[in-house]
Amino acid sequence: MDVTDAALHKIAEAGYDPVYGARPLKRAIQQEIENPLSKLILQGKFGPKDTIHVDAVNGELAFA
């Protein structure tokens, strides 16, 4: 997986809470990357040896 700085920034923003710090980061990674990517893999859009590029486009994560 290749993740751009923009995508990392989006995940960091989604996973930070002023009260809890970075504790919500795991949930943000699951919701923003793991769950959508799992669906795309099950749909056959990515194979076992594919390099998946993750970028933030218009405020949303995009996988290519």
Provide the residue type at 21 as one letter.
Answer: G
pLDDT of res. 3: 97
Question: Among 13, 7, 59, which residue's Cα sits nearest to residue 33?
Answer: 7
Q: Is pLDDT above 90 for 6?
A: yes
CA distances 43 to 28, 38, 39, 58, Å, are 22, 9, 6, 24
Domain spanning 2-63, CATH class = mainly alpha
Q: What is the arithmetic mean of pLDDT over 19-32?
A: 92
Q: What is the pTM assigned to this prediction? A: 0.84
pLDDT in tens, 29-53: 999 999 999 999 999 999 999 999 9
